[in-house]
Amino acid sequence: MGRSRTRRPAPVPPSGLPEELRTTLQPLLGDAVNDLEAALATPSPTSLRLNPAKPFAPSGTPVPWCSTGLYLDERPAFTFDPLLHAGCYYVQEASSMLLEPALRATGLLGDDIRALDLSAAPGGKSTHLRSLLTPASLLVANEVDRRRAQVLQENLWKWGGPNTVVLNDTPERLAATGISFDLVVLDAPCSGEGMFRKDPFARAQWTPGLVRQCATVQRTILPHAWDLLAPGGFLVYSTCTWEPTENEGQLIPLLEQGAEPVDPHFDATWGVQHTEVEGVIGHRCYPHKVRGEGFFIAVLRKPGERSGHRLRSDGTTALPNGIRADRPQQVVVREDVEHVVDATWAPVVEHLCRSTRVLSPGTPLWQLNGDRKDPHPALALSTLLDRTAFIPVELDEAQAIAYLRGEALPARDVRGTGLVLHRGHALGWVSGAGNRWNNNWPAPWRIRAQHPHAVRVSWSMTPAHR
């Protein structure tokens, strides 16, 4: 989850802050620029966010602003942990988890809403949103870059939440659909200063020109984000940079269009810096103050009255095979895959299918192969899965890693479709072929890395879950 697919040679970053950035930060931080520089020379904290829909309870130190966030004392080789692949957690730096208290401030959590994550890959904010929204809420996760959209889709399938649509389109084309959302999250492409410590590439590629370029891109995306908001809806804007031109400066024009700033009133003990620039209320994370990376977040409300959504009580009454759901679902077939989505959202999803590039219009259930239907990899990982419909195949850690590498599993006299489980969490499918289970784990998701000496994940559990 959340891993990059391309291997780039690690650049040797120049040490210290670039002089031009120092000049930008001096008026914001004064002498504390030196403290920031010192903090950037220390190791990044390791943190992850647990999936409440796939409970397990490793020990760690809670992230104060996120109910599911944990700091770990070391950074193990997560790739070799089957629970990562089962979607039980997402490795995410902690400042980004401020999305949770920012969303609480909107008052939307608890309502069944339509939410859009406009630049969503690899899926940190989308998986978090999926956990924070009600299961019946619709989450549309969009990513403009095709390759990154595939990674987003994989991470959301593994997270397993229902009513999640994955798109690969531009903000402009999305806005042209005329569909509006109660919540739009724009975690914008940015100059990445906040990632200097964690990612040497961010430091190596930084130039003042990059800052100007990113500010221009943000200026083109934001009007579409605003158009996509329903009256009374909320925009959450975030970046991982400290540049005022990419942060508060981007939001000033929206205030001129009537946007109302919302202050989430973050707890002072978290160390997040509150800013007010020409009416825009922002919040900034600096690693010398916050146990996390550099980050900016702001919330704006669009004027007007929000009209709620009445969930439909009609729809497909007979549920497709293999799932359980307490609400009527609608089947949507796309590219020979049968998906389901809450019947309430079917018209919106069909509209999206007609007018944008949809990768998945809901939870994929069955791959249609002529007369045959095979369970889709996402079904095994979905919270809608009805496990009782399949043969359980529980694997220990070594077997689960072999499975995730794509190996067949020795067995005796097995037939039919088996559901692979590790520590009670579903992973994927196998097909019985007599003396072995054939492996149906998708080839692009296989573990390829060989790290015989890697620090393995060894979860010590909090007492209630031992």
Binding site for ligand SAM (CB under 6 A): 119-125, 143-145, 148, 171, 187, 189, 217, 221
| All residues at 6 or more sequence positions from 416 whose CB lies less than 8 Å from its CB, including other chains | 391, 431, 432
User: Cβ distance 425 to 88 under 8 Å?
Assistant: yes
Query: Under a CB-based contact definition with an 8 Å cutoff, are residues 60 and 71 in contact?
Result: yes
CB of 96 to ligand SAM, least distance (A): 6
Report, in angstroms and rounded to the nearest whole number, the Rg of the chain calculated over CA atoms: 23
End-to-end CA distance of the chain: 25
- Token pair for 107: 């008052």
CB closer to ligand SAM out of 92 and 106 = 92
* Torsions phi, psi for 115 (to 5 deg): -120, 145
CA distances from 262 to 66, 284, 347 (A): 19, 15, 32
Q: Which is nearer to ligand SAM, 224 or 422 (CB)?
A: 224
User: Least CB distance from residue 126 to ligand SAM, whole Å?
Assistant: 7
* Cβ-based nearer residue to ligand SAM, 22 or 219: 219
Q: To the nearest whole angstrom, how small is the minimum distance from the Cβ of residue 192 to ligand SAM?
A: 8
Closest to ligand SAM by CB, 140 or 343: 140
Q: Measuring CA to CA, which residue among 37, 39, 36, 16 is closest to residue 206?
A: 16
Task: Give the separation between CA 426 and CA 160, rounded to whole angstroms.
Answer: 10
- Give the nearer residue to ligand SAM in terms of CB position, either 65 or 429: 65
Q: Does residue 240 have an active-site annotation?
A: yes
- The edge-to-edge listing of strands for the beta sheet with 337-342 is 329-334, 337-342, 363-369, 372-375
Beta carbon of residue 179, minimum distance to ligand SAM (angstroms, whole number): 17
Rounded Cα distance between 440 and 430, Å, is 5
Catalytic annotation, pick one of 88, 240, 285, 353: 240
Closest to ligand SAM by CB, 125 vs 203, is 125
- Which residue's CB is nearer to ligand SAM, number 33 or number 121? 121
- Both tokens of 49, joined, read 């966010």
Query: Which residues belong to the active site?
Result: 240
